[in-house]
């Protein structure tokens, strides 16, 4: 799951957060993830922060988000249209908190094979060199 450094954004009508990372990619962050941080309005948000993101494929609907009675958008053959977006699922306030989460995920009672341990350190160093 790739990590993204978030530098700015805004809240949508539904309370989700539409953000931009350091590379200019747009990342949709779930309202529930923002709620966990107690970030309800833009003044609450502490930039920069980091998110773990997945690529979501979602159905395309008519109307605007938050409206009721939205209908599926169909192609010329009558099949449902879909779109993809980056969705931030977990927020990390610091780079250090990402490293802590990776370490916590590993079973500390199990010795990592040397190659796997090197791979984790390489990925952390690679990420931190891109997003100081």
Give the separation between CA 63 and CA 109, rounded to whole angstroms: 52
Give pLDDT, residue 109: 44
pTM reported for the whole predicted model: 0.72
> Do 59 and 71 lie in a common domain?
yes
48 has pLDDT over 50? yes
How many structural domains does the chain have?
2
> Do 106 and 87 lie in a common domain?
no
Q: Which of 51-60, 95-104, 123-132 has the highest mean pLDDT?
A: 51-60
By mean pLDDT, which of 19-23, 102-106, 117-121, 125-129 is the weakest? 117-121
Q: Exposed/middle/buried for 50, CB within 10 Å: 0-12, 13-18, 19+?
A: buried
Range of the domain at 23: 3-93
pLDDT band, very low/low/confident/very high, at 40 (cuts 50, 70, 90): very high
> Do 69 and 31 lie in a common domain?
yes
> Do 77 and 103 lie in a common domain?
no
> Do 26 and 69 lie in a common domain?
yes
């Amino acid at each position: 799951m790739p990590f993204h450094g978030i530098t700015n954004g805004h809240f949508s009508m539904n309370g989700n957060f539409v953000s931009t990372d350091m590379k200019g990619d747009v990342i949709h962050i779930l309202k529930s993830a923002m709620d966990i941080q107690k970030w309800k309005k833009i003044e609450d948000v502490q930039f920069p922060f980091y998110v773990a993101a997945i690529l979501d494929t979602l159905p395309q609907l008519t109307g605007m988000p938050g409206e009721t009675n939205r209908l599926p958008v169909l192609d010329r053959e009558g099949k449902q249209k879909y779109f993809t977006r980056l969705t931030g699922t977990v927020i990390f306030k610091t780079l250090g908190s990402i490293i802590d989460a990776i370490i916590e995920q590993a079973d500390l009672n199990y010795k990592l094979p040397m190659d796997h341990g090197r791979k984790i350190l390489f990925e952390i160093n690679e990420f931190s060199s891109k997003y100081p």
